[in-house]
């Protein structure tokens, strides 16, 4: 498409490189707040499982005729609640009754075509296959079903499909001088090719995962960072450098670092409490694989814990998700998982519930006898309970899942460690979710 995949001049290319380097080091930019956010990796499996549920319900004609309360709402909300970059991701899927869009709720044929797109892309072996399926859905001209669907496809194939929203399009146009338009699959595919070219050019500063460059474009398009000038002039370069230096004042960066440190310290501290309680009760303890090296009071979280999960856990479906759950307690004999804990300090309660359901319902080692705990601040009780009213979480009643508030854990942890012998005390201080 004309002017959608432009070639950057060498001078402009150097400016882009400086921009990316500055952006990567900004503790408030999406590279550090979202792309390197470890909870992001945990969300991939639950979102993919949710997409499979959407496909299955449509194929069995159980999806219904409304977005609200549907399995699609469940999974889109799980995406939308992931940091600022996906805020508003659900807008494109909301039913607009006056316009009758997106036309996948009341039109059965369109609904099934949408399911085919998700299913075929889930099974696609290469990028060309994915593009072919996108072209097939575009040929049907379903009203209101446009490139916002790419936010679902990104979680299926993050190395082939970039995330999509208005800010990302604006950022791409500002950075490259392109004229990509919203709402058009051909424009999206042209932008995708341009993004792939950019990503290849600056691969050592970005990632194979297109979420990184998507975050960069989002921060440019939302006004957080100024796009480098396209013209080659000393005056333009001087002006842009001044804007770049002013984009993230040191005071704001320091404040963000302090806040991030407080949040991370709290999450890590709760994990350390659960680790110590589990060991005191005689269980083997597993710390999430991506948290092994995190320090609490100068000691790695994984100190004295299992270095690897037992083979019978690693060999079954869902083992990768099991490895990423915050804390697991296992019986030394037989290595059965007796309790799983997800700490939701500042991350979405919604996503935490999705992960626990995913772990419990996908044939992994978390059996019906495993106790599941959402560990969260007392102030988040209303959030926990409101999320559980969603129809998508009806299976909660079949599981041993409870909410464990911080205050109860802090108040009783020493006594449990001294006098406890099994899960009874933890269950006593936890609250039923329904």
Give DSSP secondary structure letters for 338-384. EEEEEE-SSS-HHHHHHHHHHHHHTTSS--TT-EEEEEE-GGGHHHH
Residue 2's pLDDT is 53
pTM over 0.85: no
C-alpha distances in Å from residue 226, one per residue of 9, 22, 222, 223, 374: 18, 11, 9, 7, 41
Q: What are the extents of the domains in the chain?
A: 10-247, 257-432
Residue 365's pLDDT is 52
Angle at 51 between CA 46 and CA 52, to 5 degrees: 95
Residue 381's pLDDT is 79
Distance, in Å, from the CA atom of 192 to the CA atom of 213, rounded to the nearest integer, reads 11
Residue 264's pLDDT is 44
C-alpha distances in Å from residue 295, one per residue of 133, 137, 257, 263, 292: 46, 49, 17, 14, 8
Q: Are the CB atoms for 343 and 356 separated by under 8 Å? A: no
- Residues with pLDDT less than 70, the chain: 1-11, 248-265, 317-318, 346-348, 350-352, 355, 357-368, 391-392, 394-398, 434
Residue 377's pLDDT is 87
Residue 84's pLDDT is 79
Residue 39's pLDDT is 74
Residue 257's pLDDT is 42
Question: Residue 110, preceding bond cis, omega within 30 degrees?
Answer: no
């Amino acid at each position: 498409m004309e002017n959608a995949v432009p070639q950057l001049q060498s001078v402009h290319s150097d400016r882009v490189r400086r921009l990316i380097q500055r952006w990567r080091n900004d503790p408030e930019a999406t590279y550090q707040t979202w792309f390197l956010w470890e909870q992001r990796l945990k969300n991939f499996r639950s979102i993919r499982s949710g997409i499979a549920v959407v496909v299955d319900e449509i194929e069995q004609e159980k999806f219904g005729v409304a977005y609200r309360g549907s399995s699609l709402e469940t999974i889109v909300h799980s995406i939308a609640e992931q940091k600022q970059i996906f805020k508003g991701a659900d807008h494109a899927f909301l039913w607009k009754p006056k316009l009758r869009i997106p036309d996948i709720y009341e039109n059965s044929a369109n609904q099934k075509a949408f399911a085919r797109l998700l299913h075929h892309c889930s099974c696609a072996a290469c990028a060309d296959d994915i593009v072919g399926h996108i072209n097939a859905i575009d040929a049907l001209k379903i009203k209101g079903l446009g490139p916002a669907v790419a936010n679902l496809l990104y979680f299926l194939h993050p190395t082939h499909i970039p995330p999509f929203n208005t800010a990302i399009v604006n950022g791409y146009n500002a950075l490259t001088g392109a004229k990509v338009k919203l709402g058009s699959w051909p424009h999206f595919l042209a932008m995708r090719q341009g993004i792939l070219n950019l990503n290849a050019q600056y691969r050592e500063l970005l990632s194979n995962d297109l979420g990184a460059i998507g975050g960069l474009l989002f921060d440019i398009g939302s006004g957080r960072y100024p796009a480098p000038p396209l013209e080659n002039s000393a005056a333009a370069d001087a002006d842009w450098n001044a804007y770049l230096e002013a984009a993230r004042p040191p005071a704001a960066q320091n404040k963000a670092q302090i806040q991030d440190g407080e949040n991370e310290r709290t999450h890590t501290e709760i994990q350390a409490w659960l680790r110590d309680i589990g060991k005191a009760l005689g269980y083997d303890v597993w710390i999430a694989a991506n948290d092994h090296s995190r320090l609490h009071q100068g000691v790695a979280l994984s100190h004295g814990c299992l270095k690897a999960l037992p083979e019978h856990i690693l060999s079954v479906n869902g083992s990768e998700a099991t490895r990423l759950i915050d804390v697991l307690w296992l019986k030394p004999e037989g290595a059965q998982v007796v309790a799983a804990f997800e700490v939701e300090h500042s991350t979405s309660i919604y996503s935490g519930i999705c992960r626990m359901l995913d772990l419990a319902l996908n044939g992994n080692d978390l059996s019906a006898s495993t106790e599941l705990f959402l560990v969260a601040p007392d102030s988040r009780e209303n959030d926990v309970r409101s999320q559980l009213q969603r129809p998508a979480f009806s299976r909660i009643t079949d599981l041993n899942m409870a909410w464990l508030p911080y205050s109860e854990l802090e108040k009783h942890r020493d006594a449990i460690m001294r006098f406890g012998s099994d899960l009874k005390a933890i269950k006593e201080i936890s609250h039923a979710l329904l």
